[in-house]
Amino acid sequence: MKKFRIKQVRSGIGKPLRQKRTLEALGFKKLYQTIEVKATPQIEGMIRKVKHLIEIEEI
């Protein structure tokens, strides 16, 4: 199964609550943290919602 390596590069401060909650749901706790997630349709949708705050790399 495909995986994504995602890194948060911009802060959620000043962003709508929905985007902040999406970052939390993806598993981010602090800036410049890198996580790996499986590529499911739900995760891909969450990534699309906050693509301006993260960097994405397909593994």
For 9-17, what is the mean pLDDT? 97
Asked if the 3-58 domain carries CATH number 3.30.1390.20, the reply is yes
β pairing state of 3-8 and 54-58: antiparallel
Q: Looking at the predicted structure, is the pLDDT value of residue 1 above 90?
A: no
Beta-strand ranges (E) seen in 1-59 are 3-8, 34-38, 54-58
| pLDDT for position 7 | 98
pLDDT in tens, 19-53: 999 999 999 999 999 999 999 999 999 999 999 99
pTM for this predicted structure: 0.90
| pLDDT for position 17 | 97
